[in-house]
Structure 1
Amino acid sequence: MNSKARNDAKHALRIIPREQHTISRKNISKAALRVLYRLNEAGYDAYLVGGAVRDLLLGGHPKDFDVATNATPDDVKKLFRNCRLIGRRFRLAHVVYGSEIIEVATFRGTSEEEGEGDRHIVDGRIVRDNVWGTIEEDALRRDFRVNAMYYGINDFAVRDYVGGMQDLQDRVLRLIGDPATRYREDPVRMLRAARLAAKLDFRIDSSASAPFAELGPLLSSVAPARLFDESLKMFLTGHGLKSFRMLEQCGLLKFMFPATARALKRGDKALRELVEQGLESTDARISDGKSVTPAFLFAVLLWGEVRDLAHTWTTQGKDANEAWSRAATHVVAEQCQRVAIPRRFTITMEEIWSLQPRFEQIQRKKVFRLLTHPRFRAAFDFLLLRSAESPAMGELGQWWAHAQQLPHETLAAALPLQSTNAAGEVELVRSTAPRKRKRRRKPAGKSGTT
């Protein structure tokens, strides 16, 4: 155990009895309670731990509940028929109740000896860790002090081994142990610090944020699939705008979304407004219980680089369709090296981008073809976000909003057969349907042929 961890270990155990905290069993899922009681009845120690305890103490309503115990994964497997063991890096038990999964982890030990038991370290990064320990050691192995409190159903008390309760009161995030060492063990902890600070409206302690500049590049060694999961937690859980701003403030955005960071660095105010408005509207949809898709969010984040590349290649004489396709492919390929966006999302992103130039083609056939495109709605919502780019773009968005409200015949009558690229050149009129052509009368005594 390093010296910083020893200092954290000097915190005297603080037991907060039921009457001095706000956690109530009625706010804990029935599935989590069943796991806790079953482990206790079998003679094991078992506690609710981590973010659930933190959020319950703050008056929140957590969706996920984790359990820590001195039972090994195999012990848990024997107790629950609805249990499956997962993970190589960290061996865990998942107890499944319908759509809810309770994650059960065995207390981790604090041994730093590589190769001791089932623990393996590469360049300071823990690549496998299945060395069991005590609850006191387990507390020291957790990331932030506010995440290292344990709630037990045997006495309904909260156990605080590292001063997490004080940090909750101070609304600050402090790491357990030496920050640089903890980040090298798992670089994702830097992202977690930004995400939790945004979610909880906490500040990050200066000692915890100081290593970001030096150790941020370590994020490039993290599996892109894992960073995709982290990006969903950041941007699709209701506090995406705050998380984005915190990533920028901490200097971590460029390590996750380099294209976004480059585009914003060029000082395009309209682009920043588009990104922030897109994140804000996503947060609002989540708050209202509406569905959201990662594809639209990633399309927003990467738009600036795609647009700029497409315009550059178009001015160099490349075909417009080819320029947009090439720009989208280039940006997506680079981004997926950092964050592994699944193909089902990148296809939608590329369609949203490719449809943007088609909104400027105000021609009868092209308008109706675009209106029936499967991705029209997503692309149109994206167009509305672009209204800050220019007054003409704002008028274009209004034009398409109005066009969707008109009857088919009225819209057709208002559209030219030839294309125009200026949004203001075509005015939609609320006229009646076009006049029917009169049938020509055949001359008397003729067959009708010419």
Structure 2
Amino acid sequence: MQNTELRIHPRDQHNISRKAISPNALRVLYRLKDAGFGAYLVGGAVRDLLIGIQPKDFDVATDATPEQVKHLFRNCRLIGRRFRLAHVIFGREIVEVATFRANSDDGSGDRELENGRLVRDNVYGTIEEDAVRRDFTANALYYAIEDFSVRDYVGGFEDVAQRRLRLIGDPEARYREDPVRMLRAVRLAAKLGFEIDAASADPIPRLAPLVVDAPPARLFDECLKLFLAGHAEQSFLGLEGHGLLPVLFPETATALAAADGGRSREMLLQAMRNTDRRIAEDKPVTPAFLFAALLWPAYRRELETLRGQGMELLAAQQRAADRVTLHQAQRIALPRRFSTPMEEIWLLQSRFPLRQRKRVFRLLAHPRFRAAYDFLELRCIESPELADEVAFWREAQGLPPEQLADRLGPPRRGSKSSAATAAADADGNAGEASATKRKRRRRRRKSAAAAPDKGE
């Protein structure tokens, strides 16, 4: 068990100001304090405030039980069976309130481990015990509303100052307790610019295979946090460096390890940089495009294998997309609302070299055209010979339909003959695609209402 030694850092020794704390979180803290309970801002919010990052969430720790918290707040609901928590709801903001957890079993059955993994933890204890059971020292800091001090039981204050990520307790035991902590270590190091302590980093490559035992839905959520929170590139490099990439994306890792995988890797890194830049600019991002990039090396490798076996191109493309998606879903539960557009982005790539007038207008009217075109641009890193295609389609998007029709030359014999009818054909294709999209949406909504998919 980790030894604890309380170190109190008064207000003049840290930079946390109540002005930077959510007013709703302050309401929760003060009401708990006024009711005679201990009340502390805890975890990532304290850590982030210390290094000058504005937290998105504010969590509270207290010695009040969930039922006592609910009694104090009419706008409170209790959630969870594995970890009983109180959520105090202020419109869209939720302040999560957790009761101090003990680090040992009291025999009540409220703390369960299976094969060394914690599956239930509702034995309440002291603040010292609560600090020890947290994952990283940087997350075990408590901001006390009573005197505005930061209380540190495991050396987290110094680790934050040194930008060091260190596990509390024996690293191997903590990873076995919850293997997803290895992904969390990589993610936090990427987000914060911290270095993972050597003792905490060393077991990761050896224990990485344990991650596959986590539920695929949980791994999908972790991937969103890794790649869609503004630090995708560093997260990817961290997964590579600690031997976790083959666990999360085995077929992609195999493809990247091949002799020609260097350009594919650079393409992936550029996709991550683009995602990070869009998030920094507050632009929308979608998991579909991200996973299209992450799994592209696997798709391309599978496609080449099927073509080498003599399979016709269109059939090989669909088979490769289906196989890669199915295999990946066994590891990470990628919902269909993301996997379907991901596959469409892949399959549309083979239509870019076709520049017949009708095909061009149909592709421009396709609802996934823009995403597929952006992906084509990305592929230029892997295949520089695509530059001519990118230039053509970039220009095609900017031209009026009549001018584009003239640029494409006269139609084939028996086809529509004028630029105006070509433009009308383009508009018709766009309308048809939109109608089809609306029809599909209505059908999906009806199906979802009949049988909601709780896994998503």
Does the 8 Å contact 2:267/2:379 carry over to 1? yes
Is 1:172 aligned to 2:164, yes or no? yes
Return 202-211 or 136-145, whichever deviates more: 202-211
* Residue number in structure 1 paired with 2:282: 289
**What secondary structure, in the 3-state scheme, does the structure 1 residue paired with 2:124 have?**
coil
How many Å separate the matches in 2 of 1:279 and 1:371?
A: 26
Is 1:87 aligned to 2:80, yes or no? yes
Is 1:148 aligned to 2:116, yes or no? no
How many Å separate the matches in 2 of 1:196 and 1:418?
A: 57
Q: Label 1:417 to 1:352 Cα distance change in 2 as closer, same or farther (>3 A).
A: farther
Q: Label 1:401 to 1:299 Cα distance change in 2 as closer, same or farther (>3 A).
A: same
Structure 2 counterpart of 1:56, from 41, 49, 54:
49
How many Å separate the matches in 2 of 1:369 and 1:109?
A: 63
Structure 2 counterpart of 1:353, from 346, 349, 363:
346
How many Å separate the matches in 2 of 1:122 and 1:416?
A: 69
Q: Deviations over 1:248-293 (max 9, x none)?
A: 0011111111122112111422211211111101000100111111
Is 1:192 aligned to 2:184, yes or no? yes
How many Å separate the matches in 2 of 1:187 and 1:132?
A: 24
Is 1:409 aligned to 2:402, yes or no? yes
Give, in angstroms, the shift of residue 330 of structure 1. Answer: 0.9
How many Å separate the matches in 2 of 1:417 and 1:106?
A: 74
How many Å separate the matches in 2 of 1:91 and 1:398?
A: 56
| 1:33-432 mapped onto 2 (5 Å cutoff) | 33-112=26-105, 116-267=108-259, 268-415=261-408
Consecutive unaligned residues in structure 1, runs of 5 or more: 420-431, 435-450
Give the aligned residue type for 1:122.
E
**Percent identity (aligned):** 60
Count of residues in correspondence between the two structures? 414
Give, in angstroms, the shift of residue 410 of structure 1. Answer: 2.0
How many Å separate the matches in 2 of 1:272 and 1:297?
A: 14
Q: Deviations over 1:98-134 (max 9, x none)?
A: 1111111110001157x54401101100011110000
Does the 8 Å contact 1:76/1:93 carry over to 2? yes
* Residue number in structure 1 paired with 2:435: none
How many Å separate the matches in 2 of 1:174 and 1:418?
A: 67
Give the aligned residue type for 1:266.
A
Does the 8 Å contact 2:165/2:197 carry over to 1? yes
* Residue number in structure 2 paired with 1:19: 12
How many Å separate the matches in 1 of 2:81 and 2:116?
A: 18
Q: Label 1:313 to 1:357 Cα distance change in 2 as closer, same or farther (>3 A).
A: same
Does the 8 Å contact 1:386/1:394 carry over to 2? no
Give the aligned residue type for 2:218.
R
**What secondary structure, in the 3-state scheme, does the structure 2 residue paired with 1:187 have?**
coil
Give, in angstroms, the shift of residue 433 of structure 1. Answer: 6.4
Give, in angstroms, the shift of residue 369 of structure 1. Answer: 0.4
Question: Cα RMSD over matched residues?
Answer: 1.7
* Residue number in structure 2 paired with 1:438: none
How many Å separate the matches in 2 of 1:296 and 1:74?
A: 44
How many Å separate the matches in 2 of 1:277 and 1:286?
A: 14
How many Å separate the matches in 2 of 1:184 and 1:38?
A: 38
* Residue number in structure 2 paired with 1:441: none
Give the aligned residue type for 1:47.
Y
Does the 8 Å contact 2:105/2:123 carry over to 1? no
Q: Deviations over 1:25-66 (max 9, x none)?
A: 111111111111111122111100001000000111010111
Does the 8 Å contact 2:266/2:382 carry over to 1? no
How many Å separate the matches in 2 of 1:82 and 1:332?
A: 42
Give the aligned residue type for 1:405.
G
* Residue number in structure 2 paired with 1:443: none
Give, in angstroms, the shift of residue 418 of structure 1. Answer: 8.8
How many Å separate the matches in 2 of 1:66 and 1:229?
A: 20
How many Å separate the matches in 2 of 1:312 and 1:393?
A: 22
Consecutive unaligned residues in structure 2, runs of 5 or more: 413-417, 421-456
Does the 8 Å contact 2:401/2:419 carry over to 1? no
Give, in angstroms, the shift of residue 390 of structure 1. Answer: 2.8
* Residue number in structure 1 paired with 2:436: none
How many Å separate the matches in 1 of 2:139 and 2:44?
A: 6
Give the aligned residue type for 1:248.
E
Give the aligned residue type for 1:99.
R
How many Å separate the matches in 2 of 1:125 and 1:157?
A: 34
How many Å separate the matches in 2 of 1:433 and 1:376?
A: 22
* Residue number in structure 1 paired with 2:454: none
How many Å separate the matches in 1 of 2:177 and 2:411?
A: 62
Give the aligned residue type for 1:139.
A
Does the 8 Å contact 1:50/1:149 carry over to 2? yes
Does the 8 Å contact 1:197/1:203 carry over to 2? yes
Q: Deviations over 1:187-244 (max 9, x none)?
A: 1111111111111111111110111122111111101111111111111111110011
Return 261-270 or 23-32, whichever deviates more: 261-270
How many Å separate the matches in 2 of 1:229 and 1:323?
A: 31
**What secondary structure, in the 3-state scheme, does the structure 2 residue paired with 1:84 have?**
strand
How many Å separate the matches in 1 of 2:42 and 2:284?
A: 30
**What secondary structure, in the 3-state scheme, does the structure 1 residue paired with 2:380 have?**
helix
* Residue number in structure 2 paired with 1:424: none
**What secondary structure, in the 3-state scheme, does the structure 1 residue paired with 2:37 have?**
coil
Return 17-26 or 253-262, whichever deviates more: 253-262
- The TM-score, its normalising length taken from structure 1, stands at 0.89
